Structure 1
Amino acid sequence: MPHASPTLVFLHGFLESNEIWDDFLQDFPAEFQTLRPNLPGYGPDPAPSPNYSLEAAADYVQTQLQAAGVHQALLVGHSMGGYVALAFAEKFPAQVAGLCLFHSSALPDSEEDRERRQRNREFLEQHGVAAFTEEFLKPQFSAAHRESMEHHVEMLQRIGAAVPLATALGSMDAMAHRPDRRQVLEKATYPVLFIAGKDDKAVPLAKTHEESLLPDYSTVLWLANVGHLGFLERPADTRKAIEGFAELVFGK
């Protein structure tokens, strides 16, 4: 799928910012342009987002592409960033050259998931974002890495603690009420890459397996001893997979 200006858009997840991609994108092949916007309400100078939604975030990504003069891009979405990428693909399918769901899913929350999010919401309201990150982040790593990657845990806690409470609550509600977007995968006219951690509690392997059968063309990278943060837990392998996928998408 040739493209005049091959561009990858990296979308961060819940309580993250574009800083999560700093090390990951070092030495990324120069023939690719990379964009990594902070989603609405996130980053050092967050734009206000009183009505946070995945669809509004997708619209914001669209404005960023327009500003950069990019007409078509490969979207790489981590976790909630994958939900935004799917919302973008639903609204602007002609602008998607390829899609990578990086520990993410097109399925909606189950009733159990929504109940868990409600408990998390109540914790956020009572104790604040900083306290929540201390409880929330470490279990996202595989047990194989939790102690050895303490510096990464601290980085994510610092980034997460800076997220405004309104953004955290709005994001939580948006994720809890997101629709089933499996039809986006079924209708995809572009390749789809799934990156899945075998120890990921947030996106169980059964979900990824089910969804990987929906697109016309899909690839799955299964990673042992990886939880929900493969860009930190297995950076070389996940970056290599995305580079190879970009070469496929853009015909390099």
Structure 2
Amino acid sequence: MEIADIIDIERYPVGNADFGEEAKLSLDDAGVLVLEGFIRPHALAMMQSEAAAGQGRAYFCTQSHSVYLTPPNPDFGDSHPANQKVESSKGCICDDMVSIASPLRILYNHPAFRDFIKQATGETELHPYADPLSSINIHYANRGQELGWHFDNSSFAITLLIQKPDQGSHFEYVKDLRDADAGDMNYDGVAAVLDGTLRPKMLDITPGTLVLFRGRDSLHRVSPNESDKTRMLAVLAYNSQPGVELSESARMTFYGRLA
């Protein structure tokens, strides 16, 4: 399978430098880049079949965490935004369960796609994870499962929606709510989101859509799935340096195994 069999190259010419620069400008301005219909229908159908076949082997877990993904701060009470808990619950299959012939694998490894991601994000290098689990993940959210409010630790995330539920599972975000580099956690702003007085933006994402998102300073979540149709999402993860592994504790938490 060629890259043109996977990506709608006519609409999204990933090998074109001008297109890459336009993508970078859009991502820098909005904090999110949404490429609807990025994946061709036949390739998307293959991804859906692969994800459905793997769902029975997914590791499901639930975590209670703060939006900052940090340990409890003893300087504040439990109801403070630094310590207030939200819940994330999902299933996951890992990189070692994604076939070498999968369109996801071909897309992830293809130089033209990787060069496009580098240009859009401003990264000079992109490398897969050194551990065997973390580069490509497929996430599953059944009825009632959600991704709680949080800030990312990484500078950007790449996701590809494979299957959309009939109701719920909305991607919601508030752009640039904090400035992590400056040490500004904006507790008041986070509290306003958590109590519902500050309304987030919402993205209506359709299957086959590629999303690049800068979530380090933008608070975001995926609301609970309100249907019996599973939400399926591929996460494509790179590192700016070679040889990076997800920690053993993180792998046990998210995947239930180390290898």
* TM-score normalised by the chain length of structure 1: 0.25
The structure carrying a bigger helix percent of its residues is: 1
The structure carrying a bigger strand percent of its residues is: 2
Higher relative contact order structure (alpha carbons within 8 Å, sequence separation ≥ 6)? 2
* TM-score normalised by the chain length of structure 2: 0.25
